[in-house]
Amino acid sequence: MEKYIKQLVQDIQNAHRQLTKEETDKAETFEQHIEEVERFIAGEEDLIQQSFGYHCRLNKEQFPPPSRLTVEQMNKVCNAFEKLLFTWNTHADFPVGLPIEMAYETLVSILDRKFITPTSGFVGLEFCDYEPRECRFKEHCTCKELFAEMEEEERQIEIQVQHLLKLLEAALNKMLLGTSFSAMHRLSLEDPNPIGELQIIAEWLDIPIDDFPSKNKLSDKQLEALCDALLAFWHPEDDMHIWLAAVNPSTRYRGLVEFLKTKVWCTNKGKIILPPVDPEVLKNIKSPLDNLNLRDTLDFSEDDFQDDLPF
Ligand SMILES: [Zn+2]
């Protein structure tokens, strides 16, 4: 076997990539690099039709099963293989401390893989699909820890969301005296008659505004639940409610949470008075919707309504 391994290492060395002079010159230009990056991103199918084994002219059958090799022999083959990958501008991402048998088998498996071997830059091959139960590296993979962390974060977010939903419900019940956010008006500059304290709506409602998770961290279900709870503060026929219901959920969420940050006075439960604004500024504010920049992100276009017309 020792003799065979020596030959195999030699074969691997012979499989090193030999770029032609033209390819080498081209590889050094920035344009070539950009072109390859673009090709790589586009994942051009025709470029990845052949396996790595096809390109380097090695095949899996040349590699004995790990059970027939000593640790030292596997190390030799793995080192040679990693150098080979390097000449093909490729490297394999392995977890730290991976047993040599797994590294050996994984490296050999690359021969069947189809990927673009760039002439400049490097491609990092991953073997983990972040499915801990199916991961080929089993307990050696760090994806498990990553998952545990993600699950813990998701759990915390869910607790936070449930807590916010409770607070919002309580706040809504306090407001339920025939009032909603539609019952708000703005003091004029001539008649600034502040009542009590000027504070953000969330504070009036006893809602910890900083506890609203960023929309990226929320599941669709959580986003929807929070939006519904926030929309409940609006009269369904209010312009704001109608428009907020029409935009996509992330814009709706952002708009609703932003609104809670508006500084207002409150006369009594739910009655909101906005601080006076310079009439010049006010002239440019056509509706609350403009403040939220909703126009660019509306879910529908006018075309969507064409089919609904009864004539
Ligand atoms: Zn993994």
228-250 residue pLDDT tens: 999 888 777 777 788 888 888 99
The rounded Å distance from CA 105 to ligand 1 centre is 15
Q: Does residue 150 form part of some domain?
A: no
The rounded Å distance from CA 93 to ligand 1 centre is 11
Residues 34 and 134 in one domain: yes
The rounded Å distance from CA 151 to ligand 1 centre is 15
Q: Is the pLDDT of residue 78 over 60?
A: yes
The rounded Å distance from CA 240 to ligand 1 centre is 47
The rounded Å distance from CA 128 to ligand 1 centre is 4
pLDDT of residue 281: 55
The rounded Å distance from CA 147 to ligand 1 centre is 10
| Number of separate domains in the chain | 2
Residues 120 and 65 in one domain: yes
Residues 199 and 294 in one domain: yes
Q: How far apart are CA 271 and CA 179, in angstroms?
A: 7
Q: Does residue 151 form part of some domain?
A: no
Q: Is the pLDDT of residue 311 over 50?
A: no
Q: Does residue 147 form part of some domain?
A: no
Q: How far apart are CA 125 and CA 130, in angstroms?
A: 14
Buried b (16+ CB within 10 A) or exposed e, 43-64: eeeebeeebbbeebebeeeebb
Residues 55 and 136 in one domain: yes
Residues 194 and 107 in one domain: no
Residues 26 and 165 in one domain: no
Residues 71 and 114 in one domain: yes
Q: Does residue 132 form part of some domain?
A: yes
Q: Which of 96, 111, 141 is the last residue of a domain?
A: 141
Q: How far apart are CA 158 and CA 64, in angstroms?
A: 50
More confident residue, 211 or 174: 211
pLDDT band at 141 (very low <50, low <70, confident <90, very high): confident
The rounded Å distance from CA 3 to ligand 1 centre is 35
Residues 133 and 198 in one domain: no
Residues 182 and 210 in one domain: yes
pLDDT above 70 as % of the chain = 73
The rounded Å distance from CA 254 to ligand 1 centre is 35
The rounded Å distance from CA 152 to ligand 1 centre is 18
Residues 197 and 226 in one domain: yes
Cα torsion for 88, 90, 96, 100, to the nearest 10°? -40
Residues 263 and 232 in one domain: yes
For residue 293, give its domain range.
Answer: 157-304
Residues 277 and 247 in one domain: yes
Q: Does residue 152 form part of some domain?
A: no
The rounded Å distance from CA 153 to ligand 1 centre is 19
